[in-house]
Amino acid sequence: MLGYSFSAAAGPLPRDVVAEVSDACRDWRGLGSVLALSFVAEDYRELQQGVETRLRRLLAIPKQFKVLFMAGGASAQFALLPLNLLAGREAAYVDTGHWSRRALAEASRYGKVRCIAMSDERFGDPDAWDVEGVAYCHVTSNETADGWQFEAMPVVSVPLAADMTSDLLTRPMALDRPALVYAGTQKAIGVPGLTLVIVHESLLGQAHPATPRVMNYGAQAAAQSRLNTPPVFAVFVLDAMLRWVEQRGGVAAMAAAAQRRSSELYAALDCSDGFYRASVARAQRSRVNACFQLHDPALSDAFVAQARARGLSGLQGHPQVGGLRVSLYNGTPDAAVATLLDFMDEFRRAHG
Catalytic residue at 99?
Answer: yes
* Domain CATH number, residue 326: 3.90.1150.10
- Order the strands of the 178-184 sheet from edge to edge: 65-70, 195-200, 178-184, 160-163, 137-140, 90-95, 112-117
Task: Judge if 309 and 174 occupy the same domain.
Answer: no
Catalytic residue among 146, 148, 167, 187: 187
- Domain count for the chain, please give it: 2
Task: Judge if 206 and 294 occupy the same domain.
Answer: no
- pTM summary value: 0.95
Exposure string (b/e) for 174-197, b if CB count within 10 Å is 16 or more? ebeebbbbbbbbbbbbbbebbbbb
Domain edge (last residue) among 247, 277, 312: 247
* Neighbouring residues of 324: CB distance < 8 A, sequence distance ≥ 6: 291, 292, 293, 294, 300, 303, 304, 315, 316, 317
Alpha-carbon distances of 38 from 50, 63, 105, rounded to whole Å: 16, 28, 37
| Cβ contact 161:138 at 8 Å | yes
Catalytic residue at 187?
Answer: yes
Catalytic residue among 99, 146, 167, 239: 99
Tell me which amino acid residue 187 is. Answer: K
- Order the strands of the 276-278 sheet from edge to edge: 276-278, 289-294, 324-327
> Among candidates 171, 230, 220, 226, which has minimal Cα distance to 199?
220
Q: Which helix (H) or strand (E) holds 162?
A: strand 160-163
Alpha-carbon distances of 61 from 54, 241, 332, rounded to whole Å: 10, 18, 26
How many beta carbons lie within 10 A of that of residue 310, not counting itself? 16
> Among candidates 75, 65, 77, which has minimal Cα distance to 211?
77
- For residue 132, the SS3 value is coil
Supply the pLDDT for residue 122.
54
* Domain CATH number, residue 60: 3.40.640.10
What are the pLDDT tens digits along the chain (352 aa)?
Answer: 679 999 999 999 999 999 999 999 999 999 999 999 999 999 999 999 999 999 999 999 999 999 999 998 999 999 999 999 999 999 999 999 999 999 999 999 999 999 997 755 555 688 889 999 999 999 999 999 999 999 999 999 999 999 999 999 999 988 777 899 999 999 999 999 999 999 999 999 999 999 999 999 999 999 999 999 999 999 999 999 999 999 999 999 999 999 999 999 999 999 999 999 999 999 899 999 999 999 999 999 999 999 999 999 999 999 989 999 999 999 999 999 999 999 999 999 999 7
Task: Judge if 241 and 262 occupy the same domain.
Answer: no
Domain edge (last residue) among 203, 226, 247: 247
Task: Judge if 200 and 57 occupy the same domain.
Answer: yes
Task: Judge if 289 and 213 occupy the same domain.
Answer: no
Catalytic residue among 66, 146, 148, 163: 163
Q: Helices 232-247 and 250-270 sit at what angle, rounded to 10 degrees?
A: 80
Alpha-carbon torsion (6, 8, 9, 11), positive or negative? positive
Which spans in the chain are helix H?
Answer: 15-26, 42-59, 73-85, 98-107, 217-222, 232-247, 250-270, 300-309, 334-351
Task: Judge if 8 and 19 occupy the same domain.
Answer: no
Domain edge (last residue) among 220, 247, 274: 247
As separate numbers, helices (DSSP H) first and strands (DSSP E) second, the chain gives 9, 14
Q: How far apart are the first and last CA of the chain?
A: 27
Task: Judge if 53 and 172 occupy the same domain.
Answer: yes
By residue range, what is the domain housing residue 21? 15-247
Task: Judge if 96 and 144 occupy the same domain.
Answer: yes
